[in-house]
Homo-oligomer: A and B are copies of this chain.
Amino acid sequence: MKQGRIEEVWSSGAKCEACGIRDLVLFADLDQADFSLIHLPIDEVEVAAGEVLYNCQSSGAYLYTVRSGLLKLVQYLPDGGQRIVRLLKPGATAGLEASLGQPYEHTAIALQPTALCRIPRQVVDRLSRETPRLHAQLMQRWHDSLRQADDWLTGLSTGKAPQRLARLLIQLMEPDGTATLFSREDLGAMLGITTEHASRTVAELKRQEAIFELSPNRYLCAIDQLDCIDAADC
C-alpha cells in the first residue's frame, strides 16, 4: 500500500461562500452568520490517484468534502482480504465519523486525482451546536451513505458476477452513456470476486456487446443490454 502525501494548495481558509459547488456540499444551507462561526482554516487539499487520504483507525481530525475526482473507502478483513465498501463522488462527504469524535472506519484512497475541502472536526462541532441548518445536512449525509451501503450490498454483492458488474456499470454511467472502470483488482474488491474473474467478466460483457471500450477503461454502455443482464433474463 503506497502511503500518499497530501499537498496543500491554498494555505488559508477557502472561500466557502463563493464555492463553485456550494449547493452540493455539506455547508449548502449555511448563511452569512453561520460562516462567521468558523474559526479554524478550511483548506483545500489534493490527493493523486492511488494515494491515501486517511487511514483506518487513525484519529478523525477532519471531515472532507469531495470537490472533484473519486475516492474509494476500503475495509480490511481478519484473513487479509480487503473490500471496497463505498465510492465517494463530488459533493459527497468523507470521514463523517470524525464529527462524532471517532477514529476513521475505513482507509480512503483516491481512484482519480481528487480535490477536497478539509474541515476540522471542531468546526463541524461548533456549527452543529449552533445551527440546525447543518444538522439537516449531516443527517442527510448519514442517510445517503447508509443508502449507498445498502444498495452496494444488495446490488454488488448478490447474484452472479456479470449481474454485479452490470449493476456497477449502471451506477457509474454518466449522462452520456459512458462509464469509467477501474483496475481489475479494485473491480474485484467492489464485486467480491477475484482479480482474474473480474477481468474475465469484463471480457464477457464485451463479447455480449453490453459494453464497448472507447479507450482504456472507458466504456460505452448498452443500457438495455445491461438491464437485462441485471434482471437475469437474457
Give the chain B neighbours of A158 by CB distance below 8 A. Answer: 77, 81, 83, 157, 192
Residues in A46-101 with C-beta less than 8 Å from chain B: 75-79, 81, 83, 85-86, 96-97, 99-100
Give the chain B neighbours of A232 by CB distance below 8 A. Answer: 79
- Contact mask for chain A residues 156-170; partner B; CB cutoff 8 A; 1 contact, 0 none: 011100010000000
Q: Known A146-B149, A154-B83; judge A159-B77 contact (CB<8 A).
A: yes
Q: Known A129-B132, A192-B157; judge A150-B230 contact (CB<8 A).
A: no
Give the chain B neighbours of A143 by CB distance below 8 A. Answer: 96-97, 100, 102, 142
Residues A139 and B140 in contact, CB atoms below 8 Å apart: no
In angstroms, Cα B150 to Cα A152, docked, is 10
User: Does A121 touch B at the CB level, under 8 Å?
Assistant: no
Give the chain B neighbours of A147 by CB distance below 8 A. Answer: 105
Copies of this chain assembled into the complex: 2
In angstroms, Cα B75 to Cα A233, docked, is 20
User: Does A106 touch B at the CB level, under 8 Å?
Assistant: yes
Kindly state the interface size class of chain A when it binds its partner. 35 or more
- Contact mask for chain A residues 182-226; partner B; CB cutoff 8 A; 1 contact, 0 none: 000000000010000000000000000000000000000000000
A interface majority secondary structure: helix
Residues in A108-163 with C-beta less than 8 Å from chain B: 128-129, 132, 135, 138-140, 142-143, 145-147, 149-150, 152-155, 157-159, 163
In angstroms, Cα B85 to Cα A150, docked, is 6
User: Does A21 touch B at the CB level, under 8 Å?
Assistant: no
Partner-B contacts on A (CB < 8 A) = 75-79, 81, 83, 85-86, 96-97, 99-100, 102, 105-106, 128-129, 132, 135, 138-140, 142-143, 145-147, 149-150, 152-155, 157-159, 163, 192, 230-233
